Amino acid sequence: MIQAVDYIRVLPEIVLTLFGVAIMMVEGALPPRASRKPLGWLAFVGTLAALAATVYQAGYPGMAFFGMVRVDSFSIFFHFLIAFIAALVVLSSFEYLDAQQIRGGEYYGLILFGAVGMVLMSSAVELVLIFIALEISSISTYVLAGFRRRAPSSIESSIKYFLLGSFATAFFLYGVALIFGATGSTRIYMIAETIQGGKHSAMVFTAVALMFVGIGFKIAAAPFHVWTPDVYEGAPAPVVGLMSTAPKAAAFAVLLRIFFAAATPGWFWPVWISAALSMTLGNISALVQDNVKRLLAYSSIAHAGYLLVAFAAARDIGISAAMFYTAAYALMNVGAFAVVSHFASAGERYVTLEDYAGLGRRSPVLAATLTIFLLSLIGIPITGGFFAKFYVFSAALKSNLVWLVIIAVVNSAIAAYYYLRIIVLMYMRDAREPAPTVQNVSAPLGVALALTVAATIYLGVLPGRVLDYASRGAALLVR
Amino acid sequence: MFFLNHIWIIPLLPALGAALMFFFGRKLSKSAVSFFCVGLVVVAFVFSCLTVLQYTGWAAAHNHQPFEKIVYTWLGSDTSNLGYLTHSGRAADFHVDAGFLLDPLSAIWLLFVTGVGMLIHIYSIGYMAHEGGYYRFFGYMNLFMFTMLTLVLGNNYVMLFVGWEGVGLCSYLLIGFYFLKKSATNAANKAFIVNRIGDAGFLLGMFTIAWYLGSFRFTQITEVARSGRLSTGDPTITLACLLLFVGACGKSAQVPLYVWLPDAMEGPTPVSALIHAATMVTAGVYMVARSNALFVLAPEAMKTVAIIGAVTAIFAASIGLVQNDIKRVLAYSTVSQLGYMFLALGVGAFAAGVFHVFTHAFFKALLFLGAGSVIHALSSEQDMRHMGALVHKIPTTFKTMLIATLAIAGIFPFAGFFSKDEILWQAWSADNGAYRALWYIGYATAFMTAFYMFRLMYLTFWSPSRVEHEVEHHIHESPKSMTIPLIVLAFFSLFAGFLGWPHSLKGSNRFEKFLEPVFAREATQFDKSGKEAQLAAAKKEEEHANPTEYFLMILSLGAAFAGWGLAKRSYGKAAEGYTEPIAATAPPAYRVLYNKWYVDEAYDYLFTGRRKLGPVRLGAMGAGEAAWAVDANFVDGGVNGAGWTTRALAKLSVWWDTWIIDGLLVNGIAYSTRPLSWLTRMIQWGLVQWYALVMVAGILGFVLYYIFR
């Protein structure tokens, strides 16, 4: 029986869908030359409503729709994070769309539709539903990646993302099919029961590997990361801010469910290797980049690696560390891309490292903001990045993953180089002539930046509350 | 309960001032700067008074417990398993709160830190009026107040350590305030580096305690220490206490780490008064007093504290006898008085030590501010050889400084008499006279103190003028904002001692009574071994009218007057080119004292390595040179090798990317298929296929792993 409370358990999805549909309809009604800003505000209100819906929903934990959706602290954590990221991305898009002269109101609609998929990914506990949610989120981001229609690189980005993404989801679907074959169910908790009972057939192992490929693509973990730099380089900067964080967070949630809630076997060494590879390849490649977006793309590959370290650490401390890391990483990365998108100017002209020289003098506040995000990405104390790394590494140490931690720590040291390089450029080099002009930061973007800075520092000074919430979610996952 | 529950506001007030100065100070006028910075400290002082008042009421109703306010969990959480294994193999939660503790001990520090701090802030308005960097000065001063209050109010060792490091930082910033002066920056570095040595000890001590007892929190540690589960003389506790004391030696300038404090006088005079006399340097005393429950379990550590304290007292006093810089005399005097305080702590008379901290805060701050006023009057002259006959020219400064001098010399009924006498009496009688040797040292120091302080007074105020002519015309009394703090401090230098009027003089020693809950209450409840020192101290205090105590009082008064008399004879008529009596009678001794026992030189030979011992360079620079040699010959090879390898790898990766991936596979495919011209466009997506291929390779790898594992 479907009860009223079932609808509450998908309330954020409903809210986001309604707002998305409303945006599409209003877009059609608007005259072609009119400003699309009201649509943006509508989208922003939609994300706020989704946040409110999440808070409301938190009072009604449980299963919904015949055990296909599950609301618990774990899903609430990700719902909140994803809606928050969507709100930030909407805020930082106003100015960007103006600067790039993009007049597609469906841009905002797509962000909301993407968010629907991501939110659903984190609460779905049935593999086919997860797949559908994954597709919803993916298709929106494929389109968003190509939104700078006049720039060939953006089209290239979109098409690459689409082709490789479809390729990867196919693996995921195949994995779902195999696990259905092996266990007779697609429901995560029923799979768990079957798996815990008997011996593991090769089919189960293969299914896990195939699903890991599908999700590994989404989170840009090596060796399924190759698409990342090209796609991030071409896609619009705020969209990169979105797709390097929210879908990743959702995909991590799915992966956590598959590994821990479904208690699937045999993922340890693939994850171990993938973590080590992602960190190493990501960081070493980032060293030689001179395009900021490409650099941050490699950085996000590396961060996926750190996150997988927490997966390998397993148990509830590993899971809560991974959740905390997802949140901290998402906030600082959205912030960093917001700065990059502001600075890029019309046609994304200024995206090389050299353009950042002397920014500290020309635009001290913007430079200071970016510095905070970069320091957090390095993992310097009093930023969220520090505690994120700290919890992940200490969780891994507790699980005796000494070698993996050594690799991770060495990698953090390597990573410091390329992040610091940007800071050094901003503060210690003179700008080249003629210096790129920096526009004033518009109010919505200013709010988004202030929120991300505050959140990053908050996680670095008072990590306790968020970590506590994450631990509660984690405890539910490991039974 | 409002003030008590919002105790965390107290440190935040000056923090707000510091933040204001940091962000907007440059744009604010001097009057706005003084309004915010001084005003906030005044508010903090009033707030503190009300808080302590409320505390006394609360404590009376709660069995004199300490009041704890935990604002939030700062590090660690109950669910995250941020644990560590303690000594006993028990898993302890790594848990540190942003928590505040108010008990009589911290209340005393709270009151005199905010009170004296407030007066010195007011004084600085006048003193710094003509200096550059006015907002910077007040910003640092407010930052100092914030960190000092954090240190005093924190309810665990980690909070204390945060404050501890913070005051160290502010001290560094303020010593180097005139950063264009080489000597000032050198002194700042010296202070910072020497303090690091102490801090290392403190950290190790703190972690030893956490490892051994499983907590950083004072109340919990005290509870465990007094539960009777630990035996007296427990080696781990002794080690922890000794390590903590290393920290105290750094911060409170005790032998052998005292060398930074005299040099710290390079900072502006109000800084010397606030940080390097009244408040920060007593942090070590606070920390040891705060750890009293542990120290009483470690008699060996207590003995060390007492001996180091006594040695420091006489050693610094001896140097002070012959210095000519007015602030340096006071600096050595501070070191010497801090030695007294540790002597008291070491013999188990915690309350007496704290009492001396309390009275010392007033008269030493007053002496420094008075010296500042003298320096101000004499157009920045600090050498006492060029002073004299100022008694009528700057009368307020003179009168207040005279009171402070009488107080520090220990003359009845000034504040210093009561606190110093208490210490000497405790040294005499503690453990049935086991520490009597230290009494002799303390007694000799009392004589020296009187001598060098009156030497300072005679040379500055009473002797014939040796002031240079140019300067003579400009001599003027300081403005009101400077003299009023002097008068207030003089009032306390005169009367603060009455709070500790001893039982033997028909008093009630209210000061000690107030502190009893911290030091002695538990001891009476748990009559276990190791608490005896505390008990004895409390009991002795109540033995009324011990004839020995009267005798000792008269003896020390005699020493004070003898010092005074000797100073008068030697310097009363010191005209231009006067001779030092010590230089006349024993030239070698004078040279040694004048050169501060050559300690700085010895440290240069042994520890810093700035001077070569023959052909060999020892110490840090020696180690540096040796390390450099190793580095240049061995490590650099490795580093360069590693760097070269990394670069080579990056190059290889670029090369691979350019030639194999882009070149061979992408462009190669592109070029090779060029003849098929209709395909060229599609070939651009060869890249994607390659990407897909990589993914397939990955999945194949994983599947193969499962099949063959």
Structure tokens at A208: 């896990």
- Interface test mutation site (partner B, options A173, A179, A200, A205, max chain B beta carbons within 10 A): A205
ipTM metric: 0.76
| Structural Rg of chain B based on CA atoms | 31
User: What confidence tens digit (pLDDT) does each residue in A175-205 have?
Assistant: 999 999 888 899 998 888 888 766 677 888 8
Strand pairing report for B83-85 and B91-93: antiparallel
B627 Cβ contact list (under 8 Å, min separation 6): none
- Burial class of B226 by CB neighbour count within 10 A (0 to 12, 13 to 18, 19+): buried
Q: How is B200-213 classified by DSSP, letter by letter? A: HHHHHHHHHHHHHH
**Helix, strand, or coil (residue A97):** helix
CA A443 to chain centre: 24
Domain holding A30, by residue range, is 4-477
Nearest to A169 by CA among A135, A193, A203, A200: A135
B224 Cβ contact list (under 8 Å, min separation 6): B213, B215, B230
Q: How far is A395 from chain B (nearest CA, A)?
A: 9
The mean per-residue pLDDT over the stretch A243-272 comes to 90
Q: How far is A29 from chain B (nearest CA, A)?
A: 38
**Helix, strand, or coil (residue B75):** strand
Is A200 near chain B, with CB under 8 Å? no
The letter for the amino acid at A473 is G
Among A167, A269, A284, the residue with its CB nearest the CB of B695 is: A167
Q: How far is A384 from chain B (nearest CA, A)?
A: 13
Nearest to B56 by CA among B46, B43, B42, B66: B66
User: What confidence tens digit (pLDDT) does each residue in A42-75 have?
Assistant: 999 999 999 999 999 999 999 999 889 999 999 9
Structure tokens at B43: 């508010």
Among B691, B698, B699, the residue with its CB nearest the CB of A227 is: B691
Q: How many Cα neighbours within 13 Å face the side chain of A230?
A: 20
Structure tokens at A30: 């608007």
> What is the 8-class DSSP label of residue B66?
P
Rounded to an integer, what distance in angstroms lies between the CA atom of residue B612 and that of residue B615?
Answer: 6
- Interface test mutation site (partner A, options B684, B706, B709, max chain A beta carbons within 10 A): B706
**Helix, strand, or coil (residue B100):** strand
Please report residues of A whose CB lies closer than 8 A to that of B656. Answer: none
User: What confidence tens digit (pLDDT) does each residue in A290-304 have?
Assistant: 889 989 999 999 999
Nearest to B238 by CA among B329, B183, B302: B302
- Is residue B265 within 8 A of residue B325, CB to CB? The reply is yes
Contact A164 B691 (CB under 8 A): yes
Rounded to an integer, what distance in angstroms lies between the CA atom of residue B19 and that of residue B665?
Answer: 58
Tokens 């299914």 -> residue: A207
User: What's chain A's average pLDDT?
Assistant: 90
Is A416 near chain B, with CB under 8 Å? no
| Structural Rg of chain A based on CA atoms | 21
Among A224, A284, A317, the residue with its CB nearest the CB of B650 is: A284
Q: How many CB atoms lie within 10 A of CB B445?
A: 26
Rounded to an integer, what distance in angstroms lies between the CA atom of residue B709 and that of residue B706?
Answer: 5
The letter for the amino acid at A347 is G
Rounded to an integer, what distance in angstroms lies between the CA atom of residue A231 and that of residue A153?
Answer: 8
Please report residues of A whose CB lies closer than 8 A to that of B643. Answer: none
Is A203 near chain B, with CB under 8 Å? no
The letter for the amino acid at A392 is V
Rounded to an integer, what distance in angstroms lies between the CA atom of residue B50 and that of residue B58?
Answer: 12
User: What confidence tens digit (pLDDT) does each residue in B83-128 have?
Assistant: 666 666 666 777 888 899 999 999 999 999 999 999 999 999 988 8
Structure tokens at B618: 């020892």
Q: How far is B653 from chain A (nearest CA, A)?
A: 8
Residue of A nearest to B688 (CA): A160
Q: What is the pLDDT of residue B527?
A: 42
Rounded to an integer, what distance in angstroms lies between the CA atom of residue A428 and that of residue A358?
Answer: 7
The mean per-residue pLDDT over the stretch A100-128 comes to 92
Largest CA distance in chain B: 118
Q: What is the pLDDT of residue B676?
A: 42
Query: Which DSSP helix (H) or strand (E) runs through B511?
Result: helix B510-519
Q: How many CB atoms lie within 10 A of CB A129?
A: 18
Residue of B nearest to A287 (CA): B650
Tokens 């006898």 -> residue: B321
Q: In this structure, what are the phi and psi dihedrals at residue A370, rounded to the nearest 5 degrees? A: -60, -40
Indicate the number of domains in chain A.
1
Contact B76 A464 (CB under 8 A): yes
Contact A212 B702 (CB under 8 A): yes
Rounded to an integer, what distance in angstroms lies between the CA atom of residue B605 and that of residue A221?
Answer: 57
User: What confidence tens digit (pLDDT) does each residue in A388-423 have?
Assistant: 999 999 999 988 899 999 999 988 888 888 898 899
Contact A164 B649 (CB under 8 A): no
Q: What is the pLDDT of residue A15?
A: 96
Is A285 near chain B, with CB under 8 Å? yes
Q: How many CB atoms lie within 10 A of CB B227?
A: 12
The mean per-residue pLDDT over the stretch A363-386 comes to 92
Intervals of chain B under pLDDT 70: 76-91, 520-545, 661-687, 709
Q: How far is A379 from chain B (nearest CA, A)?
A: 17
Q: In this structure, what are the phi and psi dihedrals at residue B91, rounded to the nearest 5 degrees? A: -80, 125
* CA distances, B221 to each of B66, B136, B230 (Å): 13, 39, 11
The letter for the amino acid at A276 is A
Q: What is the pLDDT of residue B588?
A: 86
Q: How far is A11 from chain B (nearest CA, A)?
A: 29
Contact B79 A226 (CB under 8 A): no
**Helix, strand, or coil (residue A62):** strand
User: What confidence tens digit (pLDDT) does each residue in A319-361 have?
Assistant: 999 999 999 999 999 999 999 999 888 778 888 888 898 888 8
Rounded to an integer, what distance in angstroms lies between the CA atom of residue B515 and that of residue B405?
Answer: 27
Contact A226 B77 (CB under 8 A): no
Rounded to an integer, what distance in angstroms lies between the CA atom of residue A54 and that of residue A78?
Answer: 10
Measured between its terminal Cα atoms, the distance across chain B in Å is 68
Largest CA distance in chain A: 69
Bridge partners of A62?
A71
B-side interface with A, Cβ within 8 Å? 72-82, 646, 649-650, 653-654, 685, 687-688, 690-692, 694-695, 697-699, 701-703, 705-707, 709
